[in-house]
Amino acid sequence: MNPYTTFFAAAGVQSTMTGLDWLAIALYFGVLFCVAWWVVKSRKDTATDYFLAGRNLSWWVIGASIFASNIGSEHIVGLAGSGAKDGVAMAHYELHAWCLLVLAWVFVPFYARSLVFTMPEFLERRFSTQSRYVLSIVSLLTFIISKIAVGIFAGGLVFSTLLPELQVGPLDSFWVGSVLVIALTGLYTALGGMRAVAYNDAVQVCVLIGGSALLTFYGLRELGGWGRLREICGSDMFNLWKPLTPPGMESTWAPVKEAHRIAWYFNTNFPWLGMAICAPVIGLWYWCTDQYIVQRALGAPNERVARQGSIFAAFLKLFPVYLFIIPGLICYALAKSHTNPGLNAEFFGPTARENPYQVAFPLMVQHLLPAGLRGIVVAGLLSALMGSLAGVFNACSTLFTVDIYNKFRPDASQHQIVRMGRTATIIMVVIAMAWIPVVRHAKGLYEYLQAVQGYLAPPIFVVFFFGVFWKRLNAQGCLWAMIVGFVVGLFRMLVDTPVTLIKGYQYPEGSFLWIVNNINFQYFSILITLISAVVMVVVSYLTPEPNQAQIKSLTFGTTTHEDRSQTRASWGTTEVVASVVVLVCILGAYIYFRG
């Protein structure tokens, strides 16, 4: 069963929602409406204002918007479920906050100097127009296939639980909820553009962090404090290093031969080699080169503000460990210790759920929070959902309008470009609604979508990082690295698709396709990274060097003395200290969570 298909469903939240809870939710939507209205009234009819908020975003808005775009409802509940089942193991991904420091100190100077609207546009300046088109199309497809689908999935289930009896004609609560969330989010995104998305994200982050903090506080208070939590959960659940500890040389460096199959992964849940290599590759791609995230930094007025916003986002990224994962451990501890009879019955009673871990977050909402505060937490889940979905709509609109429409219509006026941006957003909304029946009925879809980024991210990571650090690499190497890498990734996706979406479908055991399907997606991602890197280097050295004038200021090897001086002048003591604090917090988490 998909571990997130019931993250709100059957958790009992609907039976405990009160008038105060609905009032809190109504107030939240009222604030969002006021912010969106203010943005629409003050906006300008220019491409820069619509897609990058006039390059006038404050550092705190940039940081909050980056964080809000990253955290979705399924993210919150998924982390809590992982915490209840496996402890702090998934904190490895959340502690990738250091990737945002790479964005702040390494990539922001290049992006700020180039004044680009999109990541494909930067790739065009560094390499070629063909590379821009390839990345634009792949990014659009990735957003539609993965991020939009997951957003709809979460929104429909939230509403189907809160209002299970809601029926509008032939549409049940899942359909009504999905359509409402998509329509409302699409409306303020289309009307207000990046500015509406960013400022609403700032509001949503406050609700999200506040609501989750309340859940953590009430859980620890009922349990008896942090010491009691560690006592009940034991050292294994507080061991962040366990997933990275090889279980033995045989299972570390060679496939494990079993009686009936070959295990092409070292640890089914958290393969240590994948966590150590693949996870940083995906993290650096996501935080440093993905339009969905970087667009907020591009909306800064200058390099310093963009850096400050990225560092602030890195600080906020430390919160999920304590506000989403720890509540999962608290839920498990409350159930195991009989402190909360309701949770104990859900986990260990005679009518216990088949897999209660997957609904740890909503179970805590049901059994711990008083009226009114419950509504704030639910509002936080809705804010996480809408923030992620708004980010997708805005990123897709920008990619399509700037990288495709404007290339074919270079003489288009500012008004026409903005109008096309709104049209593109509406098209994304329609596509999202068309996804609803697929998302609702497909089995195992969420895990499949999570693996998609592992198959498509490596070529993008390679061309951006190698391109910035290695000036000899040229347009031909970049283009072929992306083509070959994406073909290999697409092949794996096609192999996985029937197994994921068709119930009971399997390849003959031991066949080539069976082996491909059973390789852990993280290891396959490492393979794609290596292939892309080799292709890029080999092709680049078999073809002429790039034009040095074209790549001026776009690589470390071609930056001028003036470029370096301007970047150094933008540094401040506050940014350096804040970055050190983030790194110390990450190191401290690894030291503390050692079992």
Residue 465 resides in a domain: no
What is the band of 417 on the pLDDT scale with cuts at 50, 70, 90? confident
Total domains present in the chain: 1
Q: Is the pLDDT of residue 536 over 60?
A: yes
Read off the pLDDT of residues 274-305 as tens digits, 9 standing for 90 and up: 777 778 888 899 899 988 889 889 888 999 99
* In 224-325, alpha helices (H): 226-237, 249-253, 272-273, 279-289, 291-298, 303-316, 319-320
Read off the pLDDT of residues 148-165 as tens digits, 9 standing for 90 and up: 776 666 666 666 655 566
Question: What CATH number should be reported for the domain holding residue 408?
Answer: 1.20.1730.10
Q: Give the C-alpha distances (Å, rounded to integers) separating 412 from 101, 398, 401.
A: 37, 15, 11
User: Cα–chain-centroid distance for residue 126?
Assistant: 26
Residue 170 resides in a domain: yes
Residue 530 resides in a domain: no
What amino acid occupies position 114? S
Residue 324 confidence (pLDDT): 86
**Mean pLDDT of all residues belonging to the chain:** 80
What does the H/E/C string look like for 3-54?
CCCCCCCCCCHHHHCCHHHHHHHHHHHHHHHHHHHHHHHHCCCCHHHHHHHH
Residue 6 resides in a domain: no
For residues 339, 372, 34, 159, the Cα torsion angle rounded to the nearest 10 degrees is 70
Residue range 461-477: mean pLDDT, rounded: 94
For residue 302, give the 3-state DSSP assignment. coil
Read off the pLDDT of residues 429-450 as tens digits, 9 standing for 90 and up: 888 777 767 666 555 555 666 6
Residue 427 resides in a domain: yes
Residue 563 resides in a domain: no
The residue range of the domain holding 161 is: 13-38+46-116+127-239+291-441
What would you measure as the largest C-alpha separation in the chain, in angstroms?
Answer: 73
Residue range 254-272: mean pLDDT, rounded: 40
pTM of the model: 0.84
Residue 26 resides in a domain: yes
Check residues 490 and 145 and name the one with the higher pLDDT: 490
Strand 256-257 versus strand 262-263 pairing type:
antiparallel
Residue 530 confidence (pLDDT): 95
Residue 332 resides in a domain: yes
Read off the pLDDT of residues 5-20 as tens digits, 9 standing for 90 and up: 343 443 334 445 678 8
Read off the pLDDT of residues 329-386 as tens digits, 9 standing for 90 and up: 998 888 888 787 778 777 777 665 666 776 777 778 877 888 778 888 877 777 777 7
Residue range 400-413: mean pLDDT, rounded: 86
Q: Which of 441, 426, 429 is nearest to 389 (CA)?
A: 429
